[in-house]
């Protein structure tokens, strides 16, 4: 309700400026096409300028938010964006969002909810490599985030170091990606292995999966930070979303570079 009042006040001010000759009709049209920088909902301030600054609209982190609040934020984002992503959602968040936005999709394993435009194009290629089935929620969060950002994703699941022969058949396909997200728990060795076999950026994601001495993912995090393989960047424990955003930015640059005119010799 407060957001609509703000829109009314903005429109009145624009019309008044046109009426008194302080602004041209074309200027007013340009201003109307530009969304407000932020919308105040009382419990949240929605950043409508995020897409212009960062390339993607604001993403809703649902943990700690009520289902009603998460749904209201998603609806507000879609007033000025063509897509929205909600992360760390549970079934109650998903139900509330789908009640307000029937086109929303619930990615249960990834704990995400997304609304995408009808013709959502995917470009380039990012490999998401998951060490074990128990790491899949984090890997899927990364994959859903990548697809939300417009990246084509190829998934490689349960190819961890406990059975390293499972990785070999997929190496050519993994090497063909513009960026590689590697998700692993326990001792977190898989990113180091892959980092020593590819010439692509590797985004390593430690997970909290493991027995007591894994310390909730700290062992995997430190192993990845101490990797002797070059070209590996490490995000925080269980941060599939952050890995997806980083890999999508790399992929976007690669796609843009491949489409740019080549200098003649």
Residue 223 sits in the same domain as residue 98: no
Has residue 4 got a pLDDT over 60?
no
Whether residue 61 is found in the same domain as residue 188 = no
Average pLDDT over residues 35-45: 79
- The per-residue pLDDT of the chain, averaged, comes to 90
**Residue-level pLDDT at 2:** 37
Which tens digit of pLDDT belongs to each residue from 69-78?
A: 999 999 999 9
Of 86, 120, 154, the one marking the end of a domain is 120
pLDDT exceeds 80 at position 33: no
Of residues 203 and 55, more confidently modeled: 203
Please give the pLDDT value at position 123: 95
Task: Round to whole Å and give the CA distance between 128 and 203.
Answer: 9
Same domain, yes or no, for 178 and 87? Answer: no
As a dihedral over the C-alpha atoms of residue 254, residue 259, residue 263, residue 265, rounded to 10 degrees, the angle is 90
* pLDDT of 160: 92
Q: Does residue 111 sit in the same domain as residue 138?
A: no
pTM of the complete model: 0.83
Distance of CA 91 to the CA centre of its chain: 20
Range of the domain at 74: 56-120
Same domain, 210 and 194: yes
Phi, psi of 183 (to 5 degrees): -110, 125
Mean pLDDT (whole number) for 41-68: 90
Helices 91-100 & 67-77, crossing angle to 10 degrees? 40
In a domain, 64, yes or no: yes
Same domain, 200 and 245: yes
Going across the sheet that includes 112-115, the strands are: 60-61, 84-87, 112-115, 105-107
43 belongs to a structural domain:
no
Specify if 17 maps to a domain.
Answer: no
- Select from 100, 120, 140 the last residue of a domain: 120
CA 161 – CA 209 distance, rounded (Å): 15
**Same domain membership, residue 247 and residue 183:** yes
Query: Quick one: 115 and 127 in the same domain?
Result: no
- At 85 the three-state DSSP class reads strand
Q: At what angle do helices 25-33 and 2-19 cross, to 10 degrees?
A: 160
133 plus 194 within the same structural domain: yes
Q: Is residue 250 included in any domain, yes or no? A: yes
Handedness of CA 149, 152, 158, 161 (dihedral sign): negative
Is residue 174 within 8 A of residue 159, CB to CB? The reply is no
- Assigned domain for 247 exists: yes
Inside any domain, residue 183: yes
For residue 6, is pLDDT > 60?
no
Tell me the CATH number at 190. 3.40.50.1970
pLDDT of residue 144: 98
153 and 171 share one domain: yes
**Of 66, 101, 120, the domain-final residue:** 120
pLDDT in tens, 122-166: 999 999 999 999 999 999 999 999 999 999 999 999 999 999 999
| Nearest of 188, 95, 180, 89 to residue 142 by alpha carbon | 180
Domain count, the chain: 2
Query: Tell me, what's the pLDDT at 190?
Result: 97
Shared domain check, 222 and 129: yes
**Residue 250 pLDDT exceeds 80:** yes
Query: Do residue 129 and residue 233 come from a single domain?
Result: yes
Confidence check: pLDDT of 265 > 70 = no
Q: Answer whether residue 209 is part of any domain.
A: yes
> What is the per-residue pLDDT for 9?
57
C-alpha to C-alpha distances, 3 to 7, 67, 254, nearest whole angstrom: 6, 19, 38
Q: Is residue 23 part of a domain?
A: no
pLDDT digits (tens, 9 = 90+) for 94-123: 999 999 999 999 999 999 999 999 889 999
% of the chain beyond a pLDDT of 70: 92
């Amino acid at each position: 309700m407060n957001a609509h009042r703000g829109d009314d006040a903005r429109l009145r001010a624009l019309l008044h400026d046109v009426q008194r000759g302080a602004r041209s009709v074309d200027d007013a049209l340009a201003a109307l096409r530009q969304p407000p920088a932020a919308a105040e909902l009382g419990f949240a301030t929605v950043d409508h300028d995020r897409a212009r600054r960062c390339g993607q609209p604001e993403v809703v982190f649902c943990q700690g938010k009520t289902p009603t609040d998460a749904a209201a934020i998603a609806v507000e984002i879609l007033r000025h964006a063509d897509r929205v992503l909600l992360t760390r959602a549970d079934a109650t968040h998903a139900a509330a969002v789908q009640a307000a936005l029937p086109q929303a999709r619930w990615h249960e394993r990834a704990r995400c909810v997304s609304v995408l435009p009808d013709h959502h194009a995917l470009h380039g290629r990012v490999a998401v490599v998951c060490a074990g089935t128990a790491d899949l929620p984090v890997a899927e969060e990364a994959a859903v985030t990548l697809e939300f950002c417009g990246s084509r994703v190829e998934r490689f699941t349960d190819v961890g170091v406990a059975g390293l022969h499972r990785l070999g058949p997929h190496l050519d396909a993994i090497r063909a990606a513009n960026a590689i997200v590697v998700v692993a728990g326990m001792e977190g060795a898989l990113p180091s292995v892959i980092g020593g076999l590819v010439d692509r950026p590797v985004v390593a994601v430690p997970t909290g999966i493991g027995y007591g001495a894994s310390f909730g993912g700290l062992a995997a995090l430190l192993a990845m930070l101490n990797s002797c393989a070059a070209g590996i960047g490490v995000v925080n424990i269980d941060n599939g979303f952050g890995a997806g955003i980083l890999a999508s930015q790399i992929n976007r640059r690669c796609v843009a570079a491949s489409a740019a005119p080549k200098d003649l010799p």
